[in-house]
Structure 1
């Protein structure tokens, strides 16, 4: 009788542990899925910014081609026209961001991929700000206008460790809202995998802490 009770208790404990681990696993899967979905929405909006910049590059290429064909005495180039060097720099930065976005799309929760995307993003935004410093507009995470819009280095944080709104080429509040939603989803996932038994499951499945987009 005593052995039967001990066996029953062991099986009960095993069942509790199993349900505990299954519950932790399902929660991690849900949090990972939420972060990936949030990134998908952000990805589409960053792609829209890339397309916008590429459209401006095409316009500047046409303007530059017209300048090369201009005869002496023709009207001067319009104010705000880019030089050949500026055009090349902007085009290269935009192409690099596009490449990093494509690479990150398949693994948005890998910190190395997000770090590379973050660097490419800030290079592109910095190049745009140098060409259009007077027209950079940023929005806070709640969608309200945030002026001025100081662009950060690749690290993406201010000295006070506060997240600063980014000044996007095509001003829109939606992209900052989606960026905040992705960062919040990442924070919730990272908090979950630091707890037991989720930490053990993360080790088994080789799930690491994700990185936000600052």
Structure 2
């Protein structure tokens, strides 16, 4: 073999080793997204399990607010379905986006339920409802932390898949951009509280 052939084989071997390394890195990062979503999924399941108990407790006091109660259950069911889709495909931007929309709808219906609860002092004083509300708030905090870990994993994956020259391997093997889970809190809730004297 000539020197030129040796150099060609060495360059080809380096390229193959680099491509294998880039592919394996993308797979590892994609799996980290799935793992991060599994942490969210645990908390979402906990949240989804608390909601029917909350609605049932409220139903004792506000049976004439049937529309509000049904809206919460319908939103919960949609969110549960969307979460299942993400569980199947955690890097799918479409599935993650659908989950964010479903979660926002669920948050809105829960906010309406809590607004109704405020109008009923006996319901507001119900110990079971208070405990469920506290549990729900605690779960929401855990979801927020898990969402941050998911978004960090998705960002690392997206950065790796989009940076040259790894994007060549990502394109050849179909590594698509992962979706980020947006916060489901409403813009008004993000505003700083204004204190006036």
Q: TM-score, normalised by structure 1?
A: 0.71
Give the one of 119, 136, 157 matched to 1:170: 136
Tell me which stretches of 4 or more aligned residues in structure 1 moved more than 4 Å. none
Q: 1:106 aligns with which of 82, 88, 91?
A: 88
Gaps of 5+ in 1: 64-76, 136-167
What are the Cα deviations for residues 113-156 of structure 1, in whole angstroms up to 9, with x where unaligned? Answer: 11111100000001111221599xxxxxxxxxxxxxxxxxxxxx
Structure 2 runs not aligned, ≥5 long: 118-133, 183-197
Pair 1:133–1:60, CA change in 2 (3 A):
closer
CA contact (8 A) 1:93 1:120 kept: yes
Which residue of the other structure, out of 14, 20, 41, is the alignment partner of 2:18? 20
Contact persistence 1:186–1:212 (CA under 8 A): yes
Change (3 A) 1:82 1:60: farther
Contact 2:26–2:157 (CA under 8 A) maintained in structure 1: yes
CA distance in 1: counterparts of 2:84 and 2:24, whole angstroms: 28
Structure with the higher helix share, 1 or 2: 2
Q: Could you say what the CA RMSD is over the residues aligned between the two structures, in angstroms?
A: 2.1
CA distance in 1: counterparts of 2:40 and 2:9, whole angstroms = 46
Matched, 1:188 2:156: yes
Is the 8 Å Cα contact of residues 69 and 113 (structure 2) preserved in structure 1?
no
What does 1:25-174 correspond to in 2, within 5 Å? 25-61=23-59, 63=60, 77=61, 83-133=65-115, 170-172=136-138, 173-174=141-142
Alignment: residue pair count: 164
Name the CA distance, whole Å, in 2 between partners of 1:134 and 1:187: 39
Structure 2: how far apart are the matches of 1:210 and 1:46?
Answer: 20
Change (3 A) 1:54 1:134: closer
Q: Kindly state the Cα deviation for residue 195 of structure 1 after the two structures are TM-superposed.
A: 1.4
Looking at structure 1, the residues matched to 177 and 116 of structure 2 have their Cα atoms a distance apart, in angstroms, of: 38
Where 1:105 maps in the other structure, the secondary structure is: helix
Give the structure 2 partner of residue 210 of structure 1.
Answer: 178
